[in-house]
Amino acid sequence: MAQFSLVSASVGLITLQNPPVNALSAVLRQGIVDAVEKALCDPKVKSVVICGQNGIFCGGADIREFGTNMRGPPLIPMIHAIESANKPMVAAIEGSALGGGLELALGCHYRIAHSQARLGLPEVTLGLLPAAGGSQRLPRLIGVPAALNLITTGRHVTAAEALQLGIVDQVTDHNTVDAAVKFSQSVAGQSLDGRRISTYPCPVQPNLDAFFEEAMLKVRQSARGAIAPVACVQAVRAAATLPYAQGMKREKELMATLFTSGQARALQYCFFAQRAVGRWSTPSGGRWDTSKPRPVHTAAVIGLGTMGRGITVALAQTGLSVVAVETQVKQLTEAKQAVSGMLERGATRRGAAPTPDRITYSENIQAVAGADLVIEAVFEDMALKEKVFRQLSDVCKPGALLCTNTSALDIDHLASQTRNPELVVGMHFFAPAHVMKLLEVVYGPRSSSQAVATAMQLGKKMGKISVAVGNCRGFVGNRMLKPYLEQAFFLLEEGATPELVDRALEDFGFPMGVFKVSDLSGLDVGWRVRKADGMVESGLSTGPSARIRQGRRYSPLGDLLCEQGRFGQKTGRGWYLYDKPGGRVSKSDPWLHSFLEEYRVQQGLVARRVDQQEVLERCLFALINEGFQILEEGIAAGPEDIDAIYVFGYGWPRHRGGPMFYAGMVGLAKVMERLDHYHQAHPDEPSLQPCSLLRRLVASGKKLHSQL
């Protein structure tokens, strides 16, 4: 609802009241319409201030209403009535004014913001555009380039930037409502002719056609198939070229195509999934709302290779004291320099003062004795990690949480090396650890819920999307990646090229195809794991049995490349060719194509035409099938957990909602039918056999996501 009151004898104060973010629900919109009418009819009221309760102006339209039959007064006429009012309307912006919230403020004649406020039109991130006049008013207010930037990126600006851009008229460090009330009194009775943004001409943009062509090209390149950014450019172009009323018509048409699109549904699902993963639960009954995290003031990191350095930076940036331990002197010296460089660059990027140095370095593991939480980040080798955990168990103070940054190893086994296995959890960071948003918090059967809660809370403090997952080989993310990679290798054997597979995945929306990613992360990483698993035979034997290992189809292609010293970017050669070791730009490699041809001949394989659809179905459906298996085993608590992991850690295109959501969009029956089809053709590939949860869901007609 919206509360109306008379303050300072002549100011009508309208307070938006819809916790937690004053989203513009049907009830709130009705409340605003009623309150505005009251204010305009009351002769005592000479000016009006609109504010939000609990320190937040408005988080925009109520996203939960989007999938429903929207009732209540629509936003556009409501904002129009505010702009047309003959008494000054002033928005008092505290906290956030986002989406419809900012559009409401743009309908007001003046805007006063608190210095800590954030403003923006993030509709594009929800697969929409600012369609309550935002795409038409903002360019008229701040010019086309600045408006286009805000609308196509959805970025939030600070009050200071908003003032500089001309979005707000005044910024205050004091009570925003008081400042707005005072301001509204000062302008009461003044003409409002020059204050209605919809009547402004759009500032002239030189070389309009070239400007928008370039903008469109840029957006199409970065949007990777997302339709909303493209529609945003079209809407701003309408503002720049059409009178306001016609621009509004265009805004409405563009919004209509977006509003019902699968992409908007997927992006809105991601918005809620990102928040839902914080409400974790474990099979043993641990829950986010009943488990109290332990306080962490000092954290320690053991091992200062690439991961350890990134984790140290991420911890230091949260303001914690950090003890960083590296036993090799040379590595320690290099790490010190690297960490301070990363901290400095991070501060510059954020426009903040450098993080005060709260890091203590040591060569001695005894230095972690006082830490509340330790993150072990030594080389991915079980014997080495076992040794470190035994040492930690002796050295650490009672109650200290012992975490391992492993991407696949058994948490429970490591816990068994310690005196207090309940204090052991996995914290699987993604490289670079101070940049990547995802953190898998891995609980073993003996991890206490307090340990999980502590790691989850620390992840949140570090600005991560933390997802609690169970203990199994590869946890959720890497476990699902295995069948995906496997299928990509098999497709090469059957006639595809790395270019064809990567193109299909990049057209789907991944920033990089599977072979480019493999070159980037290093082919030797997987090779080492496969060797440890006893999968690798050196040299190449021939015939189908040479490609069956441990009872299932196996492709030795990756191993053969490694035997040639082709480890990817770092050696300048992998699935692609690079201009030098460490080079970043991939080129097609004729050697690789000949190698594939020779390999097929040797193995008696006949190359056939593989199309993009088969690439997507085999790679993605195999990955999704593993996701269903993970759900069935209870390793992930729900599909949102898997989807968040893939969107935030593995480059899954957000506008496709994550693998499990995508499966629902495609239709579970279709996914199962295609898996069955491919499994019949490849009975030695168990990852193509639909798992029982998928079969049960299809048989019962049940959905995995209520949004679908």
Q: Where does this chain bind ligand L4473FGL (CB under 6 A)?
A: 20-21, 23, 59-64, 75, 96, 98-100, 122-123, 126, 128, 131-132, 272, 275
Q: Measured between alpha carbons, how far is 508 from 374 in angstroms, rounded to an integer?
A: 40
> Which three-class secondary structure state does DSSP give residue 31?
helix
Write out the catalytic residue numbers: 103, 123
Smaller CB separation from ligand L4473FGL, 134 or 483: 134
Contacts of 29 by beta carbon, 8 Å cutoff, 6+ apart: 72, 73, 74, 75, 78
Least gap, CB of 413 to ligand L4473FGL (angstroms): 35
Q: How many CB atoms lie within 10 A of CB 297?
A: 11
DSSP 217: H
Residue 701 CA to its chain's centroid (Å): 30
Cα(101)–Cα(388) distance, integer angstroms: 52
d(CA 298, CA 321): 5
Which residue stretches of 68-131 are H helix?
Answer: 75-84, 100-107
- Our CB check for ligand L4473FGL shows the closer of 336 and 437 to be 437
- How many CB atoms sit inside 10 A of residue 457's CB? 20
- Least Å distance between CB 74 and ligand L4473FGL? 8
- Min dist CB 377 to ligand L4473FGL, Å, is 29
Instruction: Compute CA 583 distance to the chain's CA centroid, rounded to the nearest angstrom.
Output: 27
| Closer residue to ligand L4473FGL, CB minimum distance, 136 or 184 | 136
> 300 is written with which tokens?
């320690």
Cβ atoms of 388 and 377 within 8 Å: the answer is no
- How many angstroms separate the CA atoms of 156 and 135, rounded? 15
Q: How far is CA 365 from CA 80, 91, 396, 415, in A?
A: 66, 56, 9, 18
CB 132 to ligand L4473FGL: min, Å: 6
Contact of 311 with 433, CB cutoff 8 Å: yes
Q: How far is the CB of 458 from ligand L4473FGL (least distance, A)?
A: 17
For ligand L4473FGL, the closer CB: 99 or 558 = 99
| Phi and psi at residue 466, to the nearest 5° | -100, 130
Judged by beta carbon, residue 20 or residue 295, the one nearer ligand L4473FGL is 20
Report which residue's Cβ sits closest to ligand L4473FGL. 99
Residue number with CB closer to ligand L4473FGL (67 or 432) = 67
Instruction: Report whether 107 contacts 82 (CB < 8 A).
Output: yes
* Distance of alpha carbon 448 from alpha carbon 175, whole angstroms: 44
Kind plus residue range of the DSSP H or E element containing 112 = strand 110-114
Smallest CA-to-CA distance from 168 within 215, 105, 236 is with 105
Reduced to 3 states (helix: H, G, I; strand: E, B; else coil), residue 70 is coil
Question: What beta strand segments (E) does 434-593 contain?
Answer: 438-443, 465-470, 548-549, 552-553
DSSP string covering 580-610: STT----B--HHHHHHHHHHHHHHTPPP---
- CB of 119 vs ligand L4473FGL, minimal distance in Å: 11
Q: Which residues of 360-379 are buried (b: 16+ CB within 10 A; e: fewer)?
A: ebeeebebbeebbbbbbbbe
Residue 59 or residue 568: which is nearer to ligand L4473FGL going by CB?
A: 59
CB neighbours (10 Å) of residue 503? 14
For ligand L4473FGL, give the closer residue by CB, 75 or 299.
75
Residues in CB range of 243: below 8 A, 6 or more apart: none
Residue (59 or 421) nearer to ligand L4473FGL, CB: 59
Q: How far is the CB of 86 from ligand L4473FGL (least distance, A)?
A: 27
Instruction: Return the structure tokens found at 184.
Output: 């509204």
Comparing CB distances to ligand L4473FGL, the nearer of 20 and 590 is: 20
Q: Report residue 627 as tokens.
A: 């996701």
For residue 533, how many other CB atoms are within 10 A of its CB?
Answer: 11
**Minimal CA–CA distance to 452: which of 474, 470, 425, 473?**
425
Tokens 């101070």 -> residue: 434
CB of 121 to ligand L4473FGL, least distance (A): 8
What is the CA angle 398-318-282, rounded to 5?
60
In the bound state with ligand L4473FGL, the residue whose beta carbon lies nearer, of 269 and 527, is: 269
Per 3-state DSSP, the chain is made up of helix, strand and coil in percentages (nearest 5) of 50, 15, 35
- The 8-class DSSP code of residue 14 comes to E
Q: Under 8 Å CB-to-CB from 249, ≥6 apart: which residues? A: none
Q: Using the minimum distance from each CB to ligand L4473FGL, give the nearer residue, 197 or 501.
A: 197
